[in-house]
Structure 1
Amino acid sequence: MAEANGPADVTAVTAHVTSGVAGTAGGAGRSRRGQYGIGASLAPADAGAKATGTFPYTADLWAEGLLWVAVLRAPHPRARIKDIDTADAQAMPGVRAVVTHADVTGDGLLGRRVTDRPAFASDEVRYHGEPVAAVAADHPETARLAAAAIAVDYEPLEAVTNAQRAFEADPLHPDGNVIRHIPLRHGDPTATGEVVVEGLYRIGRQDSAPIGAESGLAVPRPDGGVEIYVAATDPHTDRDRLAGCLGLTTEQVKVYVTGVPGSLGDREDQGFQLPLALLAIRTGCPVKLAATREESFLGHAHRHPTLLRYWHHADREGRLVKVEAQLLMDAGAYADESAEALAAAVSFAGGPYVVPNAVVDGWAVRTNNPPAGYLRGEGAMQVCAAYEGQMDQLAARLGMDPAELRARNVLATGDTLPTGQAVTCPAPVAELLAAVREAPLPALPKDGPIEDWLLPGGPDGAGDPAAVRRGVGYALGMVHLLGAEGTDEVSTATVRVEGNADGCTATVLCAAVETGQGFATLARQVVQEVLNIDEVVVAPVDTDQPPAGPGGRGRHTWVSAGAVERAARMVRTQLLQPLAANFGMSAELLTIEDGKITSYDGVLSTTVAEALEGKELWATAQCRPHPTEPLNESGQGDAFVGLAFAAVRAVVDVDVELGAVRVVEMAVAQDVGRVLNPRQLRARIEAGVTQGIGAALTEHLRVVRGEVRHADLAKYALPTALDTPEVRIVSLLEERDVVAPFGAKSASAPPLVVSPAAVAAAVRAATGQPVNRLPIKPQFAVGAG
């Protein structure tokens, strides 16, 4: 049945879905100068379809004989499972299968970094919303009703929902409650400064809230395996974990990547994929799961809520002497990527400043709260809000301008991080700060009519204009590029070129998933730059291709695009060498421009299409950056491949009676290495700033005693167009990192990391309040100003 109904029909639909991601660059024969290649503002081929809502995502897939999946989720944050009775559900008309942990034939464990999460809860439920069972039925409503009919006998247990209690509580997991502890020691731990400021900071639980909720389609294979069609961001890891979970070989599991509706990290949770695969194998039919928004909130990981206590020591001139910090990250019920997030938080606890001495302790602990995982800027964002709060407090204590205090302490190339690693990449922090300081401030509205004011609280703000105070705040921040602590970063790409009388076409095969970060566009630009071929297609992604690794931290710009460049240069050599040999010259003496191959002396002149006619050239290449090492027992080590920096100046208006905040302007200066696509780069920076504003003011997934209280977009307040201010990019500083293939750096994470801290600093300036938690609650924005 699967062979007749599944792969052929579904593959046709998937090809339609993913071809929109790939696209082409346009017709051959046109001059590409300024239009194509590196440095051009090439638009994504799928931009129009995504903007108008016509781009087909995974939720649009269909196959003949399709069944629908519903998942039963636990209503308790912690409970012992005494019995699961599926008889009533199985007896319902239209129900084809019901599965629980007893039906999982492999190790039954999920997790991207640490496989400690059961696919279905068996003996104990560890968080609200944990999957317990799943149903396949011939109608989605039947599946939901059948899931609700499964009788589970729970014995509620006392939940540990305060991360501080995890140290003394009984083990919540066989692996214990402490996932990782990093004690960083740098310099003289006994050093003290003439001035010491202390602060306690709390960072809330931000959600990725993807535009499209998780969905997927699974089709059984004749060999007992399964094919998964899903918006995966790391398909090979998903394939390997599904195979282990189900007791299959990796050859029996294939993952096809369909259109991804945006990603802020590893958005596609493996917990949605396991029920699909298991039920497809059990029923012998294609099965589909389309999560509701509530299921999406309950199912995927969130940003780590973090408690941070700081002591900053400085001399009377404002130069830092020592930073002490205690960081506690709530990982929720399972480890996921918490160890990596903690490493970033501890390593960057002092910020982009020269810190001669540091004593930092960081912990990631398990609780019975929803699982936390990777979200853009993970670890770095939480500490940025805290150390920038400390810098504001230190400036106030010393009677200094907050920007001037920062300028006296900024990091530069050649300095040393508290981890002992030398900063060898460009670190133009002083220049970034100067750029936002020198940018003109927006005009005050006081000279205009009151009715034209955009008051905090919206265009029809209810407050009194006389109660509005304006604040200006500065923040600096840093993120690491690629994986850290010994992660083997490698990506493989193939470039194939064909030519005929009608022109040339290049095809890129690389398993780097286009998640909205622009990799497909960049891959086209790279091939255009190297081979001067306008028609470039990026092939759909599946796990038959060599792995390219997950997205995030700029790794596809660096590693995957680097592999594409190397493969394209190998094809260029194959193309030019025979021509050069015919004329007794080196291939290096030939150039390709505007579709023509010419020699330095003009003797040889032909078009790329003529040189390629009837041929197919191809090459496969890998890109692997220099290795890193894990942090040692003192938090020391060369753990990072590279760093990126940003400076943000926020201007806010605060109604000090109502506590409402309106962000007027965000001025951004960013260390980008090299501008590869100006339009795309600006869009990514604006998106990062907007997400940062959400983290600062509105976004907080409310969890009360372990239960998620508003798993919907009505109460989880994403920033809208009315909340988004003018984002003024005052400087894109191009200082190329020589070890990166293009010299470019991560675009989205730096402004996201810095923007919440800048908004908090501006609210402090407007109100005189400490503002020590994110998102900022109204009572923390109320003050005399």
Structure 2
Amino acid sequence: MGVVRTPTNLTQGSGTRGGVGESTLRPDGTLKVTGEFAYASDMWHDDMLWGFTLRSPHAHARILSIDTAQALRTPGVHAVMTHDDLRFETRYGLEYQDTPVLADAVVRHHGEPVALVAADHPETARRAAAKIKVDYEPLPLVIDEETATAPDAPLLHPHRDDHHKDHVPHPNIVHRQPIVRGDVEAAKARADVIVTGEYEVGMQDQAFLGPESGLAVPAEDGGVDLYIATQWLHADLRQIAPVLGLPEEKVRMTLSGVGGAFGGREDLSMQVHACLLALHTGKPVKIVYNRFESFFGHVHRHPAKLHYEHGATRDGRITHMKCRIVLDGGAYASSSPAVVGNASSLSVGPYVIDNVEIEALALYTNNPPCGAMRGFGAVQACFAYEAQMDRLAAELDMDPVGFRQINAMSQGAVMPTGQVVDSPAPVAELLRRVKAMPMPPERQWLCAGSGADVRALPGGLSNTTHGEGVVRGVGYAVGIKNVGFSEGFDDYSTARVRLEVINGEPVAVVHTAMAEVGQGGVTVHAQIARTELGVTQVTIHPADTQVGSAGSTSASRQTYVTGGAVKHTCEAVRERVLELGRAKFGSYHPAWATAELLLEGGKVVTDAGEVLTGLVDVLEGECVDVEREWRHRPTQAFDLVTGQGDGHVQYSFAAHRAVVEVDTELGLVKVVELACAQDVGKQLNPLSVVGQIQGATTQGLGLAVMEEIVVSEEAKVRNPSFTDYLIPTILDTPTIPVDVLELADEHAPYGLRGVGEAPTLSSTPAVVAAIRAATGLPLGRVPVRPEHLTGT
């Protein structure tokens, strides 16, 4: 009896150096492609029960009664739980506690958890949940800004008690961030052209391929062991323990295999539900969502409405910018306040504009909850400001790339928040590089002697055209994204590194709580350890809460912050090794002399053999085990009136050129190529860097032309499946050539820059710009649908 297929240590070595800067293969890669990798849904316990969540069919309703009698009488059912069964804390939340563990009196969105069932088979649990009788009284809906802020609007959180409540103009506004700099009206008077635009971004799903899942096992000490797919073990722990009425040390969490995340696993889903059922029944409980449940089980990207105004002089200099960004946060806060901060502070884009008036806010509504998703508020803003750049260039009869380069920021530029960009910001160079890339051939669907290859045409294998009515378009875009947690958040990470000799060879074990969600952090940590310690064999310990927090795998921060923690800890291990060497051998000894190379770090690759020999001699019979925290430089909260403040740690930049073919008769789009140029500071693993850029680019493509959660006027999700919610397949994914620029950031470990989000920003507006070029249509909304192109 016991848990099987739990996470295992990942060991890298086999005689290859695999240090920083090399394209080291991932230790989990072969396991994943051969189907041997244990994901969270593979967790098993011999006598486990299966949990199931009953969800609300209404978006806003009062719960009049819940009758669980029939469900409890179902053979095989061990427990049914509702809000009335909660004994301790009943709410949780990332930034503040406004989300019910189970609905209490009122449901605020379609799919909100109402009751839990534990049974000896998953289908038994589902059938029993269907027997729970819930009597609802529908309530008026809040679905947009108008209904949220009307004088008679229902207050979705009438008793809210959070640090934002006193500075918002209405209780249904989660957070509002203005930014004011310069004199917009005076600058407007100097403008030769002024363009305004209304833009809209639909609700995008993270669409990770491994649905939410986990296994909770009650322990003999009254605590619980949770094996879970998540992005942030310690944030989960902080929210779960009070609900269970347990001290944090009795809630032991271990990361299970994660099948993607993209922000959708930052909030709790089934974690606390599985733990509640396990402690209630005294048996292990496993919960695995199907795809339908997953659409209701996690937050999504905020849909947005954006109004922009820009002015410019005849010589192409932008005079001013005004914008208003309204994000729909849905029923609960999640990370909406931080998303507002990002959207506002990055709303200008990577351009020098001295005069700005910015307002960004997020609403409480009865729509699905929204929170973190790759790009985190900067995606929505980038779609709007890049459309504005094209419109300004057209008004001035200027090349759109040249116009952007005239106004591009560089190192030393000042953000609208007053923060000086103190690391390389090669925006103009990235645009030059991406424009200089070779163009794909015209009419590439033509095959010599065999007619048209329909796979290369709009409509693809549906064979809708052989080139008739197909028009090519080219579009450009560039974006700016912050790296790391911002606005004064204590952003740190912890690493534990053990160095010892096993079977005559020095071996390093790296232990962090970093969630490996597919980004390749386990590979990078091993590379850092090899580089800093001069060893070949590195083992990555499974992530859990038995080591200090590593923060979230989000905000492009893990290589920077947890990688920084691993580097910092390895440096402390080196110091300890040298102390041991002095104590063992004194000043003159071959082992001491070679071990001394370790302190210099940079020499260990070229002198690896000597270092390894020295390590064996020094460490024989010894074990060096060090745990350290590492923090980047501090940030500041933005002023709530002016928006001024050094709110971000680092900025990243990417530029795209999109080439599309559009069937103007049917409104079908084929993205032929999405070329990208990006500054990454330093490539710790070039292969992984390109993979991150190409993956992020594809996610931006999805938002441009296909991905949207459709919400009805009754605030109900209409397409919770991959049949109706479309994501790019291999047939939709274009060629993605990548030009990587490495301009080191002196403030970051190894000079690196966060990689994985910036391409998600600029790929979307580049694709839409290309479609505009092909069709001549204004296209102010994403995703672009066929009816937007044909007028039907």
Same fold (TM over 0.5): yes
Q: The residue matched to 1:658 in structure 2 has which SS?
A: coil
Code of the aligned partner of 1:89: A
Are residues 1:267 and 2:265 paired?
yes
1:630 deviation in Å? 0.7
Q: Deviations over 1:277-320 (max 9, x none)?
A: 11111111111111111110011000000000111111112211
Distance in 2, Cα, partners of 1:669 & 1:562? 25
Equivalent position of 2:133 in the other structure: 151
Mapped to 1, the partners of 2:540 and 2:457 lie a distance apart of 47
The equivalent residue for 2:31 is 49
Residues 581-630 of structure 1: per-residue CA shift (max 9 Å, x gap) = 4328987666544675659xxxxx94433333222122222210111111
TM-score under structure 2 normalisation? Answer: 0.93
Q: Is the contact between residue 67 and residue 287 of structure 1 (CA under 8 Å) also seen in structure 2?
A: yes
Q: Does 1:660 align with 2:658?
A: no
RMSD of aligned alpha carbons = 1.8
- Alpha-carbon distance between aligned partners in 2 of 1:225 and 1:608, rounded to the nearest angstrom: 41
Query: What are the equivalent positions in structure 2 for 1:401-480 lying under 5 Å apart?
Result: 401-445=399-443, 450-452=451-453, 454-463=456-465, 465-480=467-482
2:773 counterpart letter in structure 1 = A
Contact 2:216 2:274 in 1 (8 A): yes
User: How does 1:527-542 map onto structure 2 within 5 Å?
Assistant: 527-542=529-544
Residue 775, structure 1, aligned to residue 787, structure 2: no
Q: Distance in 2 between matches of 1:691 and 1:569?
A: 37
| 1:135 equivalent in structure 2 | 117
Q: 2:635 aligns with which of 620, 624, 628?
A: 628
Moved more, 750-759 or 219-228: 219-228
Q: Determine the C-alpha separation between the residues in 2 that align with 1:665 and 1:197.
A: 29
1:770, 1:780 within 8 Å by CA — same for their partners in 2? no
**Which deviations, in whole Å up to 9, do the C-alpha atoms of 1:56-91 show, x marking residues without a partner?**
111111112211111110000011111111111111
Q: Distance in 2 between matches of 1:143 and 1:268?
A: 27
Measure the CA separation in 1 of the matches of 2:518 and 2:500.
28
Amino acid of the structure 2 residue aligned with 1:507: V
**Counterpart AA for 2:106:** E
Give the residue type in structure 2 aligned to 1:716: Y
User: Identity of aligned pairs, percent?
Assistant: 43
The match for 2:563 is 561
Tell me the CA shift for residue 681 of structure 1.
0.7
Aligned-partner Cα distance in 1 for 2:466–2:402: 33
**Distance in 1 (alpha carbons) for counterparts of 2:246 and 2:546:** 16
Instruction: Report the Cα distance in structure 2 between the residues aligned to 1:698 and 1:554, rounded to whole angstroms.
Output: 25
CA gap 1:775/1:760 in 2 versus in 1, 3 angstroms: same
Q: Which residue of 2 aligns with 1:602?
A: none
Partners in 1 of 2:415 and 2:548 — Cα distance?
35
Which of 769-778 and 327-336 deviates more? 769-778
Per-residue deviation at 1:268? Answer: 5.7
Aligned to 2:587: 582
Structure-1 residue corresponding to 2:349: 351
- TM-superposition CA deviations, 1:481-516 (whole Å, max 9, x none): 100100101111111011144312110011111111
Paired residues of 1:66 and 1:138 also in contact (CA < 8 A): yes
SS of the counterpart of 2:482? strand
Which is further off, 219-228 or 417-426?
219-228
Match of 2:743 among 702, 722, 735: 735
Residue 569 of structure 1: SS of its match in structure 2?
Answer: helix
1:173 to 157, 176, 186: 157
Is 1:500–1:612's contact at 8 Å kept on the other side of the alignment? no
Alpha-carbon contact 2:140-2:154 (below 8 Å) kept: no
Contact 1:199-1:310 within 8 A present in 2 as well: yes
Shift of 1:25: 1.9
CA–CA distance in 1 between the matches of 2:685 and 2:117? Answer: 46
Does the Cα contact within 8 Å between 1:654 and 1:781 map onto a contact in 2? no
How far apart are the structure 1 equivalents of 2:628 and 2:606?
26
- Counterpart of 1:618 in structure 2 is 625
Matched residue, 2:166: none
8 A Cα contact 1:436 1:667, kept in partner = yes
Q: Contact between 2:212 and 2:269, CA under 8 Å: does it hold in 1?
A: no
Contact 2:111 2:296 in 1 (8 A): yes
2:629 aligned counterpart, secondary structure: strand
Residue in structure 2 matching 1:241, options 236, 239, 242: 239
Q: Secondary structure at the match of 1:708?
A: coil
* 1:24 partner amino acid: T
Partner Cα distance (1:668, 1:477) in 2: 11
Distance change in 2, residues 1:589/1:25 (3 Å): closer
Shift of 1:94: 1.3
Output the amino acid matched with 1:154.
Answer: Y
What secondary structure does 1:742 align onto?
A: helix
1:64 and 2:46 matched: yes
Correspondence for 1:609: 616
1:82 to 27, 39, 64: 64
Letter in 2 for 1:521: T
1:579 Cα offset (Å): 4.0
State the alpha-carbon separation in 1 of the partners of residues 447 and 40 from structure 2. 50
Partner Cα separation in structure 1 for residue 643 and residue 417 of structure 2 = 6
Partners of 1:592 and 1:300 in 2: CA distance = 45
Q: Deviations over 1:433-487 (max 9, x none)?
A: 1101111211101775642352111144313513111111000101001001001
Aligned partner of 2:11 in structure 1 is 24
Offset at residue 762 of structure 1 (A): 0.6
Equivalent position SS for 1:521? helix
Residue 52 of structure 1 deviates from its aligned partner by: 2.7
Structure 1 residues 589 and 561: CA distance shift in structure 2, 3 A: closer
Range with greater deviation from structure 2 (145-154 or 587-596): 587-596
Identify which range, 240-249 or 521-530, moves more after superposition: 240-249
Q: Mark the CA change 1:200 to 1:675 in structure 2 (over 3 Å): closer, same or farther.
A: same
Letter in 2 for 1:365: L
Structure 2 residue corresponding to 1:73, chosen from 55, 71, 88: 55
- The residue type paired with residue 5 of structure 2 is V
| Letter paired with 1:299 | G
Q: SS state of the match for residue 270, structure 1?
A: coil
| Structure 2 counterpart of 1:680, from 688, 691, 709 | 688
Corresponding residue for residue 189 of structure 1? 184
2:727 paired residue number = 718
Contact 1:216 1:289 in 2 (8 A): yes
Instruction: Give secondary structure in 2 for the equivalent of 1:271.
Output: coil
1:480·1:642 contact (CA, 8 Å) conserved in 2? yes
Partner SS for 1:630? coil
Q: Is the CA contact 1:108–1:246 (under 8 Å) kept in the aligned structure 2?
A: no
Quote the Cα distance in structure 2 between the aligned partners of 1:747 and 1:592: 27
Name the CA distance, whole Å, in 1 between partners of 2:604 and 2:705.
51
From the superposition, tell whether residues 268 and 313 of structure 1 become closer, same or farther in structure 2 (CA, over 3 Å): closer
> In 2, are the aligned partners of 1:506 and 1:537 still within 8 Å (CA)?
yes
Which residue is 2:298 aligned to?
300
- 2:752 aligned with 1:744, yes or no? yes
**How far is 1:573 from its partner?**
2.4
Query: How many angstroms apart in 1 are the aligned matches of 2:475 and 2:88?
Result: 53
Matches within 5 A, 1:31-42: 32=16, 35-42=17-24
What residue ranges of structure 1 are gaps of 5+ in the alignment? 600-604
Find the aligned partners of 2:287 and 2:648 in 1 and give their Cα distance. 38
The answer to whether the aligner puts 1:323 opposite 2:339 as a matched pair is no
* Residue correspondences, number: 759
In the TM superposition, what is the alpha-carbon distance from 1:781 to its structure 2 partner?
Answer: 3.0
Residue 163 of structure 2 is matched in structure 1 by none
Q: Which residue of structure 1 aligns with residue 762 of structure 2? A: 754
